[in-house]
Amino acid sequence: MDETLAAESAAAASGGETAAAEPQQETLEEVLSRHRKEKSKLQDKETSLKKAAAKGSKAEQKAKKKQVEEEISRLSAELEAKHAAELATFGYKSSGNSEKGNMDTLVKAIAGVSVTSTADSAKPSKGARRREKKAKEEAAREQRIQEEQNNLVSDRMIENEKLEKKLEPLGLSIQEIKPDGHCLYRAVENQLSLYSKGTTPQYSYQELRQMTANYMKEHAADFLPFFLSEGKVESGPDPLESFKSYCEEVESTAAWGGQLELGALTHCLKKHIVVYSGSFPDVEMGKEYKLESGGKDDPSIRLSYHRHAYGLGEHYNSVVPA
């Protein structure tokens, strides 16, 4: 009898452990967070594959590059389909005739509001309105990501082909830089290390960030009009304070760098900078330094700008001899 009870207790305990071991269903926020991580992981994989393909003869590199693009295209499509199927379980569909309805459904799901309710008879509380506002922002972001993913592969391939045709006659190629928000500074760091022969000072990307921020703060009058025109700050009582806060972000965060930061870098380094693009006209900055640094011993800094490289984010790479 005791043995029977012991066996039943053990079985019950085992069953309880099995039940406890069963994975809990993910919330929508957890699913969206995992989606972002999976997309980031795919971006890292793409960078790794591109680096591996940039070896061998030109013919081999071209063949490998095409294989990489086809592989990434396939993986992107599979990931997009998987994410769409998972979001569909929360009542959201990435395509269909009722785009607004789908967006509203996703907003409600994120906010924790029932997606089956037909009317909200009671006036929502302040907390509910706040949650819904936050949910709308998150849903809009997710919608943009989905739309970017739909167009990303074709736009990226077109951009890369145009850029390749532009660089090949110049004997240049692209060296991939990690897409982590520091790409502009990492690309400049790479350029300085490539062409340094003991004459050009070496700086890490963190030091380049610090130099850029300090130069912008010291020459605020030169940068503030462009800062305001680019809409980097909302209207406020003191735009200069907003600009200083922006400079602090440049120095201490992974904030993406653009035209303002390039303008500061060219003066900090006293270097001519050329930015090649497959989507826009090429940009030259610091032309006044071209005569001084245009020789073979001190070449210009060459970067590439990619509008469609990684989802919603713009990206810079280093341009090197092929």
Burial state string for 75-86 with b = 16 or more CB within 10 A and e = fewer than 16: ebeebbeebeeb
Choose, from 182, 272, 308, 315, the residue flagged as catalytic: 315
Local structure of residue 277 (DSSP, 8 states) = E
- The first and second tokens of residue 108, run together, are 């409600």
Antiparallel, parallel or unpaired: β 301-310 and 273-277: parallel
Confirm whether 35 is a catalytic residue: no
What does the block give as tokens for 115? 């997606």
CA distance 273 to 288: 11
What single DSSP character describes residue 173?
E
Pick the catalytic residue: 44, 180, 222, 298? 180
Residue 155 known to be catalytic: no
Nearest to 192 by CA among 202, 184, 205, 182: 202
For this structure, is 315 an active site residue?
Answer: yes
Are 303 and 188 contacting, i.e. CB atoms less than 8 angstroms apart?
yes
Q: Give the whole-angstrom CA distance, residue 93 versus residue 114.
A: 16
Q: Give the helix/strand (H/E) hosting 190.
A: helix 183-195
Give me the catalytic one of 35, 83, 182, 183: 183
Q: Which residue has the tokens 């389909």?
A: 81
Indicate which residues carry an active-site annotation.
180, 183, 315
